[in-house]
A and B are shown apart, each in its own frame.
Chain A
Amino acid sequence: MTRLSPLRITQLVRKELRQMLRDPRSRAVMFVAPVIQLVMFGYAVNTDIRNTATFVVDHDQTAESRALVEAFRATGYFEITGRSERPADLVKVLDHGDALVGLEIPTGFASDLAAGRVARVQVIVDGVNSNSATVALGYAQRIIQRFALERAQASGQLPGGGIDAQARAWYNPNLESRVYNVPAVVGILILLMCLILTALGVVRERELGTLDQLMVTPLKPAELILGKTLPVALIAFIDLILISSVAILWFDVPFRGSPPALLFAALLYILAGLGTGLFISSISKTQQEAFMTMFLFLIPSIILSGFFYPISSMPLGFQWLTLLNPVRHFLEIVRAVFLKGESVRGLWEQYLALALMAAGILSLAVARMTVRERR
């Protein structure tokens, strides 16, 4: 094989860049859309459970029952959005989804307490969102237990004592889900950009026949591939820096690690993304096919990345499958670099995995492309 010519590659890169940046619409798609998406989705990716809409049916209407409702409100997890004396109203608000939690205090609550009988309180949650329902139920049960224990201890029915658990979260003291999720959105947007620009870009030229024009030039297949992918890599890199800055400046995501650690990971990740894009383009005849294949790859790679579904809860087979997913490794790196300030050394397994995947998919794609374009 003859040597590659840097001159020819530079020429092609320049042509490609000019072509991509010429159209204002595609400029907007490449540089403005990712920022808008990050801002939009950055606000959306919030799983904090605070101010859960709570509907109270208080049949007792005493100082005691109000104290219990106040204990719910004071934690900040529950926001009392409505009250009524009829249980039918509770059914209605839960059916309409206007409240997610219902608290029903029976008549005789205060007198039961005074007489030393066990008072019963009903807590009903909308179980459709099983995740937040579980957490809300847990909060509610603890509030009631605590209320009961303190009552009994104050009245001398039970001796003092108890345990206070002080919970503190490291790296993210307020347990804001946004801080955890925004870096993940960055990773996904970069992947999207790589895939669309390479997979569809190359297939489009093939469809239009302009790829054949390039074939008849003295360009070698390897030069052609490099010339096609380098501009995309450059744009993806600029996008990464752009939206990471937005994440840090706009969403106050802490950046505790070192920029080189992030950029190095991004390089490997972008290479893997480009390789995947090229591979898709090499097995697709039309843009429609490329589009379909891209989705087929994109959906599992997001869902099996640990973005919002914890990998450790997946069945074992799926956990192994996630090891083949570059997004999983990149998200682990991004989150650790942003939040924990982890160094490359602490994350070498993820870096190695990304590097192996990038090398593997790129050589596979190049091999397929070379064979295909020679024909």
Chain B
Amino acid sequence: MSLSRLWAVARKEAIQLRRDPRSLGLAFVLPAFMLLFFGYAITMDVRHIRLSVLDQSRSQESRQLVEAFLASGYFELAGHLERYGDIDEELGTGRARLVLVIPPEFQPDLAAGRRAQIQVLLDGGDANTATIAQNYAEAIVTGFAVDLVLRGRRLSLPVVAESRAWYNETLESRNMIVPGLVAVIMSIIAALLTALTIAREWERGTMEQLAATPVHRNEVVLGKLLPYVAIGMLDVGVAFLVGATVFGVPLRGNAVLLTVLTLAFLVGALGLGMFISAAVKSQVLATQAAILATYMPALLLSGFIFTIATMPMVLRAITYVVPARYYVTVTRGILLKGVGIDVLWPQGLAMILFATVGLGLAIRAFKKELA
């Protein structure tokens, strides 16, 4: 391999990139823009849950219970229902997400020291919101019941839970989203940048010209990779800067380790894009394959939103070949947990392996085209 030829290919690719201002602009602006945009837009916090009440008890206690729901700040009152039969329409039309049913026996049961029964009916159509709403509702009901039992007594409950959240003390969803989003965005950008680079030469017929030069296939693949690695590293730097300054995401671990692991990730992700590009000749197919292989897996199989541990075995096995999976763990680990190489070495190793295999495959696939 000759360094000067490698450099020449890299320069050619950089010049070509510069002539395509839209691609270049997108490559630089897109990551920061997406992070800003989605950092503001996305929140997993569920609030303003519309609540309707069917109060058959009409007692002071039942009104206090409804008051406790509204005072929690999670619910807003959508309306009062008269009949049980109204609930179907209320939930079906989405006027309410949750209907609280307080039966006539509620107050007498409480007065007699029996356990009173109430119903919490949820619109299960949106399972995510319903789970959280149910959680809030049960917490409010339990708290209310405890207050009621303790009322007028100078006692407290015999066991107290002291709960704390580590790594993300205030449970901000932004702290969860920003590091993960950087990994997803960079997977996409990497595929975007490289997926078409070889397929394009093939479709335009410039591949033959390239083949006629003395340049070796290692040099072509690595040379084409270099400018994109540079752009990618810059992108990640800007993205983390935005995350820290705008969204206040902490950096608790080692910045050098983060840089090294980012490099490993980028080379792997770009190599994968190059491989796809070299393996399929057409740009349409390369696009589809790139989306199949990077975008959707990065979004859904990386642990960014959906927990890998709850996936079935086969799918969990597939997540091991999604580079974003390792990088999500790395960014969250270094930024939020502040852990070092002693915890993250398996991820680092996997990404280096990925980079080696990805590049190797790209070089191999490239040879086939020229033959």
* A residues adjacent to B (C-beta < 8 A): 25-26, 29, 33, 37, 40-41, 43-51, 53, 68, 94-97, 112-113, 116-135, 137-142, 144-149, 151-153, 157-173, 175-181, 192, 196, 200-201, 204, 207-208, 286-289, 291-296, 298-300, 302-304, 308-310, 312-315, 318, 335-336, 339-340, 342, 346
Interface membership of B93, Cβ < 8 A? yes
Q: Mark B312-338, 1 if CB is under 8 A from A, else 0.
A: 101100100000000001001100110
A174 to B299, CA, bound (A): 25
Stretch from B37-45, B228-236, B258-266, B356-364 that touches the partner: B37-45
Whole-angstrom CA separation of A144 from B131 in the bound complex? 20
Closest to A119 in B: B159
Q: Mark B93-113, 1 if CB is under 8 A from A, else 0.
A: 100000000000000001001
Q: Kindly report which residue of chain B lies nearest to residue A192, judged by CB atoms.
A: B291
Closest chain A residue, CB of each to CB of B328: A128
Q: Does B71 contact A (CB under 8 A)?
A: no
Segment at the interface with A among B7-15, B77-85, B140-148, B209-217: B140-148
| Interfacial chain B residues near A53, Cβ < 8 Å | 309
Instruction: Kindly provide the distance from the CB of A117 to the nearest chain B CB, expressed in whole angstroms.
Output: 8
Known: A25-B280, A175-B134. Contact between A292 and B161, CB under 8 A? no
Known A-B contacts A97-B329, A142-B139, A168-B120; the reply to A47 vs B284 at CB < 8 A is no
Instruction: Say whether chain B's binding surface is mostly helix, strand, loop, or mixed.
Output: helix
Contact present for B120 and A125 (CB under 8 Å): no
Structural contact, B128 and A177, CB atoms closer than 8 A: yes
User: Which residues of B (143-193) have their CB < 8 Å from a CB of A?
Assistant: 143-146, 148-150, 153, 155-169, 171-173, 175-176, 188, 192
B92: contacting residue among A37, A196, A288, A342, CB under 8 A:
A342
A340–B92 CB distance below 8 A: yes
Judging by beta carbons under 8 Å apart, are A145 and B146 in contact? yes
B353 to chain A, nearest CB (A): 20
Contact between B149 and A336, CB atoms less than 8 A apart: no
Q: Please give me the 4 A-B residue pairs with the lowest Cβ-Cβ distance, nearest first.
A: A169-B124, A172-B124, A127-B165, A127-B168
Q: Is the C-beta of B288 less than 8 angstroms from some C-beta in chain A?
A: yes
Please list 8 pairs of residues, one from A and one from B, whose beta carbons are closer than 8 Å in the complex, sorted by A's number: A130-B175, A141-B161, A144-B159, A163-B118, A163-B142, A170-B123, A291-B195, A318-B41
Interface string of B216-233 (1 = CB under 8 A from A): 000000000000000000
Contacts of B56 in A (CB 8 A): none
Chain B residue nearest to A285 (CB atoms) is B22
CB distance B307 to A132 under 8 Å? yes
Q: Which of A162, A168, A336 contacts B125 (CB 8 A)?
A: A336
Q: Do A164 and B116 have beta carbons less than 8 Å apart?
A: yes
Set of chain A residues within 8 Å of B176, measured between Cβ atoms? 128-131
Contact B163 A129 (CB under 8 A): no
Is B238 at the interface (CB under 8 A from chain A)?
Answer: no
How far, in angstroms, from A177 to B134 measured CA to CA in the complex? 14
Q: How far is the CA of A137 from the CA of B173 in the complex (A)?
A: 15
Q: Looking across the interface, which residue of chain B has its beta carbon closest to that of A160?
A: B113
Do A171 and B125 contact each other (CB < 8 Å), given the known contacts A26-B285, A40-B318, A151-B158?
yes
A298 CA to B222 CA, complexed, in Å: 30
> A167–B312 Cα gap in the complex (Å)?
27
Judged by a CB distance under 8 angstroms, whether B350 is at the interface is no
